[in-house]
Amino acid sequence: MIIGTFKELKPGESRVVLTPTEVAELTGGGHTVLIGKGTGENAGFPDQSYAEAGAELRDGMEEIYAEAELIVKVKEILPEEYHLLREGQILFTCLHPAANREEVDVLLDKKVIAFTAEDTHQYGSPNGEVAGKLGALWGAHYLLSVNGGMGKLVGGIGGVPGIQALVIGAGIVGRSAANVLSSLGARVTMMDVNIGVLREAQYLLPKGVDTMFSNRSNIRQVLPHVDLVMNCVKWPKHRKDHLITREMLQLMRKKAVIVDISADVGGAVETYRPTTYEEPVYEVDGIIHFGVDNIPGAAPHTTSIAYAASVFPHIKSIADHGADEAARRNPYLRRGLTSYKGILTHEETALIQQRERTTAEELLGLPAK
């Protein structure tokens, strides 16, 4: 199979989905890998390293879209890419389709076979771990007065305690954020709706991390005392309510910071809107909001190595067996199947956008799940 990837168009994004390690394995297996020039430069993977791994270099995405049977990327496709898609082409990337009707229209109209990569992880995405850790560091950064914050040091000093932080969500993202903050000396309260997850977290995390059930009453109780809020909850897109409303910002200290790692417009934090690393923060009612929706893009070398390794089994299976057979063999890959030659298969997208859907199992001739 001919597999292609190229430098992401999204501002501040330098991650890659194939490092030279994965390229060498693909080319060693008889596949052709096309790499856009400069794709991995900012992540520490120069063109020469890809060439040495057996890749063929191309000038840019236009050539790669024209030649490749399988396009693999990190981020969603952007409008500049829409016209380059070809019927029957396979696409594996983080599409976030439920929140993007226009993108879904294009996928269906172009009759591509598209996989939403973020739904194919069996053990959670390394991107989430990186986002939790980096998000905590950015939160600490924007609490400093030189960055517009209230002038607090995350870990405090002798005689002055560290900051109070609230982490909502005790999954991979939340535990990663809490681990960094508590290790730096912050006093952390972590909330979740699952007692089992909270029980597990109290043994995994450093002592001094308190756990509470996540509900609006408890959040209201804690907000007046916190300096930093980390939202790590992926809010269901069909819900119209919020965990933190604009009215609740009045409970918080002025110049406190909210980092919404889940980056859902209309999600858990009502006042969230997406930003980029060029202008990462904005202020609402005296509260600083960090809204970057591709936080791991700031650490592309570390993130790319872990992320590429985690999704490579899917990419290799598609290359070795074709999209249909690869999806039949792996329920996690099948879960990420989003569109199939003009047919919508993605459950969340169908629910949110009120579209007709055919299940992946039905399309592939498998028993209903």
Residues 135 and 281 both lie in one domain:
yes
Residues 82 and 216 both lie in one domain:
no
Residue pLDDT, tens place only, 159-205:
999 999 999 999 999 999 999 999 999 999 999 999 999 999 888 88
Residues 115 and 139 both lie in one domain:
no
Share of the chain above pLDDT 70, in %: 100
**Is 324 considered catalytic here?**
no
**Which domain CATH number covers 233?**
3.40.50.720
Question: Is 11 a residue whose pLDDT tops 90?
Answer: no
pTM score: 0.91
Residues 38 and 177 both lie in one domain:
no
The verdict on residue 195 lying in a domain is yes
- Confidence band (pLDDT; 50, 70, 90) for 206? confident
Can you give the residue range of the structural domain that contains 237? 127-290
The verdict on residue 90 lying in a domain is yes
Task: For residues 304-332, give the mean pLDDT.
Answer: 97
Residues 221 and 149 both lie in one domain:
yes
Residue pLDDT, tens place only, 93-147:
999 999 899 999 999 999 999 999 999 999 889 999 999 999 999 999 999 999 9
Out of 31, 96, 121, 346, which one is annotated catalytic? 96
- Confidence band (pLDDT; 50, 70, 90) for 210? very high
Residues 165 and 274 both lie in one domain:
yes
pLDDT of residue 12: 86
pLDDT of residue 204: 84
**Is 83 considered catalytic here?**
no
SS3 content of the chain, % helix, strand, coil (to 5): 40, 20, 40
Contacts 24+ apart (CB under 8 A), 192-198: 192/168, 194/170, 197/170, 197/171, 198/170
The verdict on residue 369 lying in a domain is no
Residues 151 and 80 both lie in one domain:
no
Strand stretches in the chain, DSSP E: 2-5, 32-36, 56-58, 70-72, 90-93, 113-116, 164-168, 187-192, 209-213, 228-231, 257-260, 281-284, 287-290, 337-340, 343-344
Count of domains in the chain? 2
User: In whole angstroms, what is the distance from residue 61 CA to residue 77 CA?
Assistant: 12
The verdict on residue 259 lying in a domain is yes
Question: Is 320 a residue whose pLDDT tops 80?
Answer: yes
Residues 170 and 262 both lie in one domain:
yes
Question: Is 287 a residue whose pLDDT tops 90?
Answer: yes
Out of 119, 192, 227, 264, which one is annotated catalytic? 264
Of the residues 258, 290, 322, the one at which a domain ends: 290
pLDDT of residue 275: 95
Instruction: Please provide the average confidence, as pLDDT, over all residues in the chain.
Output: 95
Residues 278 and 133 both lie in one domain:
yes
Residues 115 and 163 both lie in one domain:
no
The verdict on residue 282 lying in a domain is yes
Of the residues 241, 265, 290, the one at which a domain ends: 290
The verdict on residue 93 lying in a domain is yes
Residues 111 and 20 both lie in one domain:
yes
pLDDT of residue 147: 97
- Confidence band (pLDDT; 50, 70, 90) for 236? confident
CA-based R_g, the chain, Å: 22
Task: For residues 20-48, give the mean pLDDT.
Answer: 97
Tokens, residue 194: 């699952």
The 10 Å Cβ neighbour count of residue 336 is: 24
Of the residues 290, 313, 328, the one at which a domain ends: 290
- Confidence band (pLDDT; 50, 70, 90) for 240? confident
Q: Is 282 helix (H, G, I), strand (E, B) or coil?
A: strand
Residues 91 and 210 both lie in one domain:
no
User: In whole angstroms, what is the distance from residue 120 CA to residue 126 CA?
Assistant: 12
pLDDT of residue 207: 78
